[in-house]
Amino acid sequence: MNDQTMTPEERAANLKGLGSSRKRVEDVRFTQGKGNYVDDIKLDGMLFGAFVRSPYAHARVVSVNKDAAMAVPGVVAVLTAEDLAPLGLHWMPTLAGDKQMVLADGKVLFQGQEVAYVVAENRYIAADAAELVEVDYEELPVLTDPFEALKSDVVLREDLAGQTEGAHGPRKHHNHIFTWEQGDKDATEAVLGEADVVAEEMVYYHRTHPCPLETCGCVASMDKVTGKLTLYGTFQAPHAIRTVVSLISGLAEHNIRVISPDIGGGFGNKVGAYAGYVCSVVASIVTGQPVKWVENRMENLMSTAFARDYWMQGKIAATKDGKITGLWCHTTADHGGFDACADPTKFPAGFMNICTGSYDIPTAYLAVDGVYTNKAPGGVAYRCSFRVTEAAYFIERMIEVLAIKLNMDAAELRRINFIRKDQFPYQSALGWEYDSGDYHTAWDKALKAVDYEGLRAEQAQRIEDFKAGKTRKLLGIGLTHFTEIVGAGPVKNCDILGLGMFDSCEIRIHPTGSAIARLGTISQGQGHATTFAQIIASEIGLPADDITLEEGDTDTAPYGLGTYGSRSTPVAGAATAMAARKIRAKAQMIAAYLLEVHDDDVEWDVDRFSVKGAPERFKTMKEIAFAAYNQAIPGLEPGLEAVSYYDPPNMTYPFGAYICVMEIDVDTGEWDVRQFYALDDCGTRINPMIIEGQVHGGVTEALAIAMGQEIAYDEMGNVKTGTLMDFFLPTAWETPNYTTDHTVTPSPHHPIGAKGVGESPNVGGVPAFSNAVHDAFRPFGLVQSHMPHDHWRIWKIANGLGMHG
């Protein structure tokens, strides 16, 4: 323990702290099938719930007849809105200031909407009985197009009739939700009017779905003796769920225990509150027995939170030399039947106002109109901070469109418009203060790594060959330089349902020098138990292997706002470092006492405090921990614990340069990603292996979204992509090889300089793939085409450009 022969570097390596590619401690159980997911929870007497869902996208519910279902042996209850109404639970508040039906109250607004909830002794009986609930519907006209919805006489939300004021200001039409404006409209329009060049385009980011491997579910267990409700669930924000359950159910918050067990991926899908949670809680209270609800894949895709569905009309102004002078964006946001976006309260369009991207754009204006349609509610941040991927896709398309208009190389156009290193902290025209960045260095490194000049030469040759009839394959080079905004966020401007978006960590050092840390976040695959232990290891000098991490139990963990929007490392990671520093501060006093010197006469040395000028006199953290519990130290309480609630002073702004090289068959629309280079700058790198894994996963999701994944509706509002046959999830076969790279520009305001990385690859990946498709066809006249770029849509581009002879 006191081995003086080890160098400080060797001692640091033993800690497996910051920068160590420590293997994921979670994987021992996950790779052996020993995870504990919601559906693994089995309680005595547990009942099962199943929903009756609407086959129609818009219909009046004339009647619901439960008789046949109730007659099935083993059926305990069938709940409808009428049963929930006396409790005031037939509607629930959404995270966006709207309200949403828990069970159909007189009408349905999207296909798959919950109409009745059948509770039975097992899931098989519940499924059979759900088939027997007779619902009489009267079909109503269906609105699936947000532009039509804003003109239509059809009133979707009759409950809001006559309300001209919504949660986010005036409503302009009965199907309108809000208008959100940022920036200077008049100045931007003036710039557009005077500009040498203005490029204008509609950029559509289609509706898709996070589709986590594990669907949503819960087990509600009301103990009528203690009056305590335990709610296990797939919650990305367990503490917020506890508060919401308390507020809407009237149960005292201390009588509610929310537990998020292992979660099989979230990607934003598991942030909000769903009808299944409310119905399960009610059913458990009514029956006195635990009630489990786990949705199936089709239910997940059809009814739980979707992502994107933004129609972004853009105008970008520049000088003839390519210096951007202004950006204008009007977004029509399709929110579905209820506004259930998961955004901080004051940001009804999330952080869409990061849409000036990596560029020094002096003047900008953004307006977003939210619209009701007959589609499922949601609008969650699918592996991105709130609406950041929409913003990044928008600006990275607009840059390409401007490059076409200017007849410029798109790499060079980016370079001359990047915010310079010396401009940070940078105040954007739409209101953000970018903390740090070095875009030119990252960009040059990326272009060099892929031999950008060589690729362009190869592309030029390919175009010649194509025109000469020697090949039917095109080469596309997709460029992206993205800037994210993550780590929501400062309590002064970020809250969800009034809960400030701080986060927390509590650390207890055990007498023998091991530790447990509990956080307000919850891992869904991110590897928190691995990486947060590394932060603590580096801060207090105990090996990461000796530190247990716990999250997700509201009875034991400190309050926090959960894991989404790449906020865990920027916020909870900061809380972890701050809590660890409190422990180190106390440890310093203990060490000084043990070494019989003044507090200021000891200094920190990797895993110990040593006497300044006499490094052979030291106390390791392990020795200090023991002393904290067995010695009476004057002026100090026993024990060694600390807690930190961290309110970040600012967001963090990770960035990256992604380049995709794609081969495209113009005859079939088939594509092949030949090369994908991803350079990420997420500030201080905690665990390079986990970062690489995050990038691989995120780029693969981006590939899915850009190249085929969508939630598509027909004109009747039927979901056309409700199974994994039609909803594209890439397998190993479709997934390309990736090259990862990095630069390191620490966040100046984060305790360890980390910025967050989990969502960067989705944010940067989507425009990189899409730009590759566009770039392949640019020489033949393509300006803009909408995602997803599946085979037939790519074929349609080629066909429209007359490339099929």
Round to whole Å and give the CA distance between 328 and 185: 8
User: Is 660 one of the catalytic residues?
Assistant: no
Residues 6+ apart with CB under 8 A from 326: 187, 188, 191, 192, 195, 315, 316, 317, 361, 362, 363, 364
Q: CA-CA distances (angstroms) from residue 232 to 46, 65, 520? A: 13, 31, 16
Binding of other proteins by 737 (CB under 8 A): no
Residue of the chain from 163, 512, 631, 668 that contacts other proteins (CB under 8 A):
668
For other proteins, the closer of residues 26 and 790 by Cβ is 790
Round to whole Å and give the CA distance between 706 and 680: 20
Binding of other proteins by 720 (CB under 8 A): yes
Among positions 130-189, residues that touch other proteins (CB under 8 A) are 131
Binding of other proteins by 670 (CB under 8 A): yes
Question: CB under 8 A: which stretch of 421-429, 448-456, 484-492, 666-674 binds other proteins?
Answer: 666-674
Q: How far is the CB of 667 from other proteins (least distance, A)?
A: 5
Greatest alpha-carbon pair distance for the chain in Å reads 90
Q: How far is the CB of 767 from other proteins (least distance, A)?
A: 22
Q: Locate 215 and state its tokens.
A: 């669907």
Binding of other proteins by 786 (CB under 8 A): no
Of the listed 182, 236, 534, 694, which one is catalytic?
236
CA 176-178-180 angle, 5° bins: 140
For other proteins, the closer of residues 127 and 597 by Cβ is 127
Of the listed 295, 390, 710, 759, which one is catalytic?
759
Binding of other proteins by 466 (CB under 8 A): no
Q: How far is the CB of 295 from other proteins (least distance, A)?
A: 10
Binding of other proteins by 254 (CB under 8 A): no
For other proteins, the closer of residues 183 and 722 by Cβ is 722
Kindly determine how many residues on this chain lie close enough to bind other proteins according to the rule CB under 8 A: 30
Of the listed 171, 207, 383, 778, which one is catalytic?
383
Question: CB under 8 A: which stretch of 35-43, 247-255, 624-632, 662-670 binds other proteins?
Answer: 662-670
Q: How far is the CB of 216 from other proteins (least distance, A)?
A: 15
For other proteins, the closer of residues 500 and 730 by Cβ is 730
User: Is 236 one of the catalytic residues?
Assistant: yes
For other proteins, the closer of residues 34 and 720 by Cβ is 720
Binding of other proteins by 73 (CB under 8 A): no
User: Is 759 one of the catalytic residues?
Assistant: yes
Cβ 243 vs Cβ 255: under 8 Å: no
Binding of other proteins by 792 (CB under 8 A): yes
Q: How far apart are the first and last CA of the chain?
A: 77
Binding of other proteins by 226 (CB under 8 A): no
For other proteins, the closer of residues 297 and 448 by Cβ is 297
Q: Give SS3 for 463.
A: helix
For other proteins, the closer of residues 681 and 790 by Cβ is 790
Residues 6+ apart with CB under 8 A from 540: 507, 509, 515, 580, 583, 584, 587, 621
Strands 671-681, 306-318: pairing is unpaired
Query: Of 319, 424, 459, which is closest to residue 775 (Cα–Cα)?
Result: 459
Q: Which residues of 157-182 are buried (b: 16+ CB within 10 A; e: fewer)?
A: beebeeeeebbbeebeebbbbbbbeb
For other proteins, the closer of residues 39 and 200 by Cβ is 39
For other proteins, the closer of residues 301 and 691 by Cβ is 301
Tell me the sheet residues that pair with 418. 359
For other proteins, the closer of residues 252 and 724 by Cβ is 724
Round to whole Å and give the CA distance between 276 and 284: 12
Q: How far is the CB of 712 from other proteins (least distance, A)?
A: 7
For other proteins, the closer of residues 297 and 598 by Cβ is 297
Residue of the chain from 721, 740, 745, 770 that contacts other proteins (CB under 8 A):
721
Length reported for the chain: 805
Question: CB under 8 A: which stretch of 161-169, 284-292, 543-551, 729-737 binds other proteins?
Answer: 729-737
Show the binding pattern over residues 693-712: x = contacts other proteins (CB under 8 A), - = does not: ---------------x---x
How many C-beta atoms lie closer than 10 Å to residue 255's C-beta? 15
CA 266-272-274 angle, 5° bins: 105
Binding of other proteins by 796 (CB under 8 A): yes
**Any idea what DSSP says for residue 372?**
E
Among positions 256-315, residues that touch other proteins (CB under 8 A) are 296-298
Cβ 773 vs Cβ 478: under 8 Å: yes
Q: How far is the CB of 719 from other proteins (least distance, A)?
A: 11
Q: Locate 369 and state its tokens.
A: 């109109």
Residue 197 host element (H or E): strand 197-208
Cβ 324 vs Cβ 318: under 8 Å: yes
Q: How far is the CB of 124 from other proteins (least distance, A)?
A: 6
For other proteins, the closer of residues 629 and 792 by Cβ is 792
User: Is 279 one of the catalytic residues?
Assistant: no
Binding of other proteins by 224 (CB under 8 A): no
Among positions 510-539, residues that touch other proteins (CB under 8 A) are none
Show the binding pattern over residues 119-138: x = contacts other proteins (CB under 8 A), - = does not: ----xx--xx--x-------
Of the listed 384, 505, 660, 682, which one is catalytic?
384
Which residue do the tokens 């899931």 mark? 123
Query: Of 766, 761, 660, which is closest to residue 704 (Cα–Cα)?
Result: 766
Binding of other proteins by 33 (CB under 8 A): no
Backbone conformation region of residue 691, classed left if phi is above 0, alpha if psi is from -120 to 50, else beta = alpha
Query: Of 499, 580, 495, which is closest to residue 18 (Cα–Cα)?
Result: 580
Give backbone dihedrals phi and psi of 375, rounded to 5 degrees, phi first.
Answer: -130, 170
Binding of other proteins by 468 (CB under 8 A): no
Binding of other proteins by 612 (CB under 8 A): no
Q: How far is the CB of 179 from other proteins (least distance, A)?
A: 34
Binding of other proteins by 39 (CB under 8 A): no
Binding of other proteins by 629 (CB under 8 A): no
Residues 6+ apart with CB under 8 A from 336: 109, 110, 306, 309, 372, 373, 374, 375, 376, 377, 378, 379
Cβ 658 vs Cβ 768: under 8 Å: yes
Question: CB under 8 A: which stretch of 148-156, 415-423, 508-516, 717-725 binds other proteins?
Answer: 717-725
Question: CB under 8 A: which stretch of 216-224, 404-412, 442-450, 792-800 binds other proteins?
Answer: 792-800
Residue 43 C-beta-side C-alpha neighbours within 13 Å: 20
Q: Which residues of 414-433 are buried (b: 16+ CB within 10 A; e: fewer)?
A: bbebbbeeeebebebbbebe
Active-site residue list: 236, 383-384, 759
Chain residues that interact with other proteins, rule: CB under 8 A: 123-124, 127-128, 131, 296-298, 667-670, 708, 712, 720-721, 725-726, 728, 730-731, 733-734, 790-792, 795-796, 799, 804
